[in-house]
Each structure stands twice: as structure tokens, then as C-alpha cells.
Structure 1
């Protein structure tokens, strides 16, 4: 997460960041693990790191699997999100699939690998759009 990257860049421990920001160490741990952060927490962190709140929120878009909206989503969507904590993870999967598909297409076109990777990337993109439409993250 971006908070951990910024903390490491400043060579601070979680305890130091908590002290500088006036937050609890547990709050720092939750934010770094990708859990939702309140606007007050984001303001404190943005102030300490001297960045805009938008810089912190661009990567803190996580799936809250405890909400009613999440529970109402179809089983196939939830099954595809097993082990996935954020929209960004799904985007990385889509990009990786596209990279493999184009690589196999140009380097060694195969009848199975190339179309399978393109299809998987397309379906992953469709899942991202479905999650956006249904406020999954």
C-alpha cells in the first residue's frame, strides 16, 4: 500500500509513524493492510507525509466484504474475488494476462495459450467494470 511505501521511504517504523501522526499503531497497521481509513486518519497521514489526500486514497480502494452491498453480489463475483483485497489487484491480474497474451502472440503463437489469455483478460476487465457498477470496492 502507498502508506507503507511512504513510511519505508522515510525509514520510519509503524510506531514512529503513529507517534508523528497522532494515530494508534493498530490504525497504521489496518491502513497498511488495505482496510478502509476514515477521512480524519487520511488527513493525519497526508499531513505527516506532506502529500494530498488523493495520493493516499488512490490505492486505498479496497473491498469491504462485511457490507450488505457485498453480501448481495452474485456468488460468481465473490468467488472471483477470493484472496483479492482491492481493485488494484484485479487490474494487475488483467494487465498480467494481457502481457502474457501479447507475448505469446508475438513470440510463439499457440492455438491455446494466446486466445485463452486474451479471453481471461477480457473477462477480468468485465469483472472490474461489474465491480465498479455495483460499488464492490
Structure 2
């Protein structure tokens, strides 16, 4: 289980609810939970929807694209 899925489940949100709350498609959330690297704007939207800092994701197993790392630092 990756950090996104862990945070989502901790808040008792379904993928559909998180998608609605973050304005990100369910398919994108599924891909990130399956290990695909999120884009910077996607990461920001998810962090905001989950009420966490973007850096929260970097400490776990969500692979971040190198381009996104500059936004987190």
C-alpha cells in the first residue's frame, strides 16, 4: 500500500470521493496508487484535498518525477 492509499483510507475516503474532492480523475488516483509518478499539479491537488503537506508524499513510496521534486523542496 502506498502513502496516497494509506492517507485516503485513514480518512475513510473512497477513490471516487477523493477524486471529487481533489478534482483529479479516479483513473489518475488508481494509477498513482498502482505506482505511477504524479505530476506536480496533481500532487498539490491531492495534498490539499487530504489536508497534508506535499512533502508528506516524498517520505513514502509514491515515486515522484524529478521535475516534481523542485516543487516539494
TM-score normalised to the size of structure 2?
0.78
Q: 5+ unaligned residues in a row in structure 1: which ranges? A: 63-137
Cα distance in 1 between the residues matched to 2:15 and 2:63: 21
1:9 maps to: 10
Cα distance in 2 between the residues matched to 1:16 and 1:35: 20
1:21 maps to: 22
2:58 maps to: 57
Q: 5+ unaligned residues in a row in structure 2: which ranges? A: 65-73
- Max Rg structure: 1
Cα distance in 1 between the residues matched to 2:39 and 2:59: 14
Write the deviation string for residues 68-90 of structure 1: whole angstroms up to 9, x where unpaired. Answer: xxxxxxxxxxxxxxxxxxxxxxx
2:71 maps to: none
Q: Following TM superposition, by how much is the alpha carbon of 1:50 offset from its aligned partner in structure 2, in angstroms?
A: 1.2
Larger RCO, structures 1/2 (Cα 8 Å, 6+ apart): 2
Q: Which runs of 4+ in 1 moved over 4 A?
A: none
Cα distance in 2 between the residues matched to 1:17 and 1:35: 17
Q: Following TM superposition, by how much is the alpha carbon of 1:48 offset from its aligned partner in structure 2, in angstroms?
A: 0.9
TM-score normalised to the size of structure 1?
0.43
Write the deviation string for residues 75-120 of structure 1: whole angstroms up to 9, x where unpaired. Answer: xxxxxxxxxxxxxxxxxxxxxxxxxxxxxxxxxxxxxxxxxxxxxx
